[in-house]
Chains A and B, each alone.
Chain A
Amino acid sequence: MSFYKIYPKILANSCRITNATQRSLHAYVRTSSTKCVDYFLIARYNSNYSSQKPSVPQQAFMKPLDSIRHLGEKFFLTTDNEPNSSNEKKLIFHSSTLKLFMERLCSGEFRLENIDWMQLREDIIKENPKLMRSIDSVLMNFVIASKNVKLGVSFYEYLKANQLWNISVLASFIYLCGRYGGKEKQEYVLEAYEKLKEITPTFDFKTCCDLVTGFSYTDMWRKGVEFLEMSKITSNTASVSSYSDLIQAAIREGDLVFAVKMFEDCVGSGLVPATVVFDCFLMACKMGKFTVPDLLNLYRKYSLIPNETSVKGPLLEHFQSDSNQKWLHKFVIMKKSGRCVFCGSYLEKHDISSEKFEQLRDETLKRMLIQDDIYLTTVPKEFNEFKKFIAKNAPFDYVIDALNIMYKLSTFRSNERVLRQVVQEFSKTNKKVLVIGRKHIGKTNFVQFIQERAHLFLVENESKDDPFLIYAALYSGKSSFIVTSDCLRTQKFHLSEHMQFVFEKWQRARQIIILKVSENGRMDIKYPIEYDLAIQQDPGGWHIPYIAEKEDEINKPVFELTERFLCLRKSHLRQFSLVEKKLKVTDDLQKTQLTKT
């Protein structure tokens, strides 16, 4: 389209864009690919923030679509002159003295202690008497934001002298001392905790979180378990930060059995511990209390993938500074066959246990197809026909989603041509193919063409075809493939949380995505991976995947987390010193002399 070439000219000539061009652009953007998004955003930015505003009042269609908006926010956040940013948290200061105080704190003036707390409080209460009850905790939270422990201690002692403490102040003070104070301020933590106990025996969720972090730097760090269980009274799970702080405390004190147990509890309740935990475990490995293989196997057991920064930082350092063994490493993008470019060996094959696979299959029947009411997706008559059809023609090798291919990969005229090509391609090798579509697909010639080469099942126009696809593929066994470009996210969320994970795993290995079909007969197909995406161990070394922050590919599906691996190989070159070599030679000579004689 010509817009792609004309747009830079428009930008160069004028900052302002008329409404007519904007409207037409909007329509163009909706129908075309994402390449011209940037120009659209630049134009909008220029038109919004230019000095002369357009004469016609802005109407609803001038706003960008939701799919583009998240990109727009990224773009807009980079600029400095931003009047309305929805991502900024609006801090409401209920009095101007508070605002001044906050600014002075953040500027770094109060390196040392002591302010006249009494006067500050009086000034604030004069301006806004509603703050009477909440002023102490608000001030303490400001002190936490400035990370200044001595100020906090002085504030605490002022409150102690005037007997003004309450639950929230004590909790946030404990958090301060623990997080930014360290082991030096243990006494304050314990003192404050005893005052808390006098007020109430049981605490609520937020105070429990603060207590866990505060106690994690003291000698009584094991009390964190009590607080975790107390926080489960009012919520399903404890918070992630409290789990990670407890684990870190256990590692620092050397009790790694406890740390692993907490790790398992955390993952068992559905939370992923923070990335700092990985680095903390590596610190323990340096001290000698834990081994790196144990760590990596822990992460493999729960199929967690580490971060880029922790893999490129501490992990690599550990392997490079290993005295017993020399390691060679390379950062590799893995191919779908599982063959590592660096070492040439193949990764472990993808596998789902048969129990879990059966469970997946049953859940798709119950939750996707037959939801609470079968009429939500189909009609009982059709469902019975489908069951009979599948039982007859059971294991299929390829299951094709006709609607997705016809309507997403082609224009209106070339619908049928595309499907014909795809069906021909997949039925070449004498494998069983199933095509699922709707009854409005086409005329009898077209339907006959497909039926000569594959099995065909047409669904009513009013019922959903995705659950049928997925169930047919799962019924046919672990080795059958599904051919769509659909992420199948809406169907995934019908399953339970545990099964969602297994479904993603299945998708990674068994979903074929067709990117483009051209008139020549050439097709761009993205075949799935054959290896198991997890940390893997060889007799010769390790393969560790990691999640990178920037992901370049546009056509990458959501369930494929990474292709990037770190390949670590043990090198057979051993560095002998010269003395040892001589000794070895003399030993050999002596042996030969003995044998001779």
Chain B
Amino acid sequence: MLTRAVLQRFRVLTQHTNVAAQIGRSLYNLELTSAYRQLIGQCLYSSSVGVQYVTGHDKNERNKEEKENEKRLTATERLQQLDEQGLKRLKVLKLEYEVMQMREPEAVPENMIDEYWLEILGKNSYFARKRQYSFWVRKEKQRKSVEEKKRKRTEYVKERMAKVEESERNNEVGNRFLPRVSEAHMDRFYISKLANALLHQNPTLVLDMDYENYMSMREITNLHDQFWFLYGKNKRIQQPFNLVACSVNPVGEFMNRFKKVAKHMNFDSFYCEMTEKSYLDLYPRDRLVYLTPDSRKVLRYFDPDDIYIIGGLVDISQIKPLSFTKAKKQGIRMASLPLDEYLSWQKGSKALTLDQMIQILGEVMVSGDWKRALQYVPHRKVCNPLYGDQNDTEGNLSEEAADGLYLDEGNKAV
């Protein structure tokens, strides 16, 4: 009988075929306990070069550091510190909010927080404020729809469980021909891979977070989201990297968001180093290579002895070659991906996101094949995608490529 539970397991297995092939009964013995992981981490972090600031390995350390560092002002405190002019402006802006609520029914969100008022204080134009309000309205709607979906789902489940007889309810879990693989189990497997990467000194990937001054709030939130995508994809590639985030500003806005998420996390199994120092202090200059879209030199071979740097920069509003100038100033080698040699570009920026970069580099490290690696560039930017699905790990060619139209040596569009 194909019930939903069976289908779920079947779907999970087909998605992660590598995992399923490797997980067997023997692997139940290789579950790493939290204590063991902690031991590994402490041994390695003590031996690495002068790491000062690490998030949340010990809860006591975390509290101390929060007190020592400058206190980051909350929004309410900042609003109380305004001058007369600022207060007058705030008053008028609150009036404007009410008027806009009266004018159009869905122009303005229902609940306004102090942080929202701070953002709107900083905008000097009526139309910019309007756009910001409409963005928040859309977000509210999204949250509401998500909650409604959850509510409906729980009700549906309750109804279904009420119909099923009691005798069958206990057997829902067992007596199926496929083994049960929970997502927590897979998570534990991935985390063990990360620990092995540290142990066996896999290549490192440095994230340069020095660009907070050049980014707006929207861009910093995008960076934050990309960071977690990067972390998740690093777990799932065949040979994960050692992630190091350099020149992080502990009082900045990226860390503010990070700490909100970190409250709910278990940092015993978090394998990414966050430091205030820059990569120049941690590693010798000969081994560094900065990956920028503006450099003229092209990366042909992935050298595992080199340390690759990616700039944590999201440039939606201003497009300046910031990572390029930084590397020039500091005298580091530069390289860019060979996009023009294997792909015909249609539209979009050649600066790729963090998770796309790590997938490409991970593939190149393992196989050395750029065609397989550059499948992770999104299809909307490319004229002739060589591979069909982005999630397809086996590497099936798309229909056009299989016909042989685009398999010339140069691989350029006809």
Contact = CB atoms under 8 A, between A and B. Distances in A.
- Contact-size category for B: 35 or more
Contact of B414 (A24, A131, A202, A206): A24
A94 B296 contact: no
B320 A376 contact: yes
B368 to A, nearest CB: 28
B380 interface: yes
A56 B89 CA distance: 57
Contacts of A379: 328
A2 B325 CA distance: 46
B99 A235 contact: no
B288 to A, nearest CB: 17
A315 B124 CA distance: 38
B203 to A, nearest CB: 27
* B interface, over-half SS: helix
Interface in B320-364: 320-322, 324-326, 328-329, 346-347
A205 interface: yes
B105 A462 contact: no
A492 to B, nearest CB: 16
A23 B346 CA distance: 12
Given A60-B379, A65-B347, A375-B328, A236 B125 contact: yes
Given A27-B413, A235-B125, A61 B383 contact: yes
Given A59-B379, A60-B380, A130 B102 contact: no
Contacts of B326: 375
Given A23-B414, A66-B347, A166 B379 contact: no
B346 A61 contact: yes
B95 interface: yes
Interface string B168-188: 000000000000000000000
B92 A204 contact: yes
Contact of B102 (A133, A202, A203): A133
A233 interface: yes
A203 B320 CA distance: 40
Contacts of A359: none
Interface string A220-242: 00000000000001111000000
Contact of B103 (A23, A134, A205): A134
Name the residue among A66, A236, A376 with the largest chain B CB count within 10 angstroms: A376
B380 A137 contact: no
A593 to B, nearest CB: 82
A200 interface: yes
A307 to B, nearest CB: 25
Interface string A115-159: 000000000000000110110111001000000000000000000
B65 interface: no
A204 B96 contact: yes
Contacts of B104: 134, 138
A206 B347 contact: no
B329 A94 contact: no
Interface string B85-96: 000110111011
A13 to B, nearest CB: 23
B150 to A, nearest CB: 23
A474 to B, nearest CB: 23
A461 interface: yes
B102 A375 contact: no
Contacts of A216: none
Interface string B271-315: 000000000000000000000000110000000000000000000
Contacts of B89: 233-234
A168 interface: yes
Contacts of A236: 124-125
Contact of A94 (B103, B105, B379): B105
Nearest to B127: A235
A23 to B, nearest CB: 7
B375 interface: no
A56 B403 CA distance: 14
Nearest to B329: A375
A137 B103 contact: yes
A138 B384 CA distance: 50
B101 interface: yes
A524 B295 CA distance: 36
Interface of A: 23-24, 27, 56, 59-61, 65-66, 92, 94, 130-131, 133-134, 136-138, 141, 166-169, 171, 200, 202-207, 233-236, 373, 375-376, 379, 461-462
10 contacts: A60-B380, A134-B105, A168-B102, A171-B99, A202-B88, A202-B92, A204-B92, A206-B100, A233-B89, A462-B295
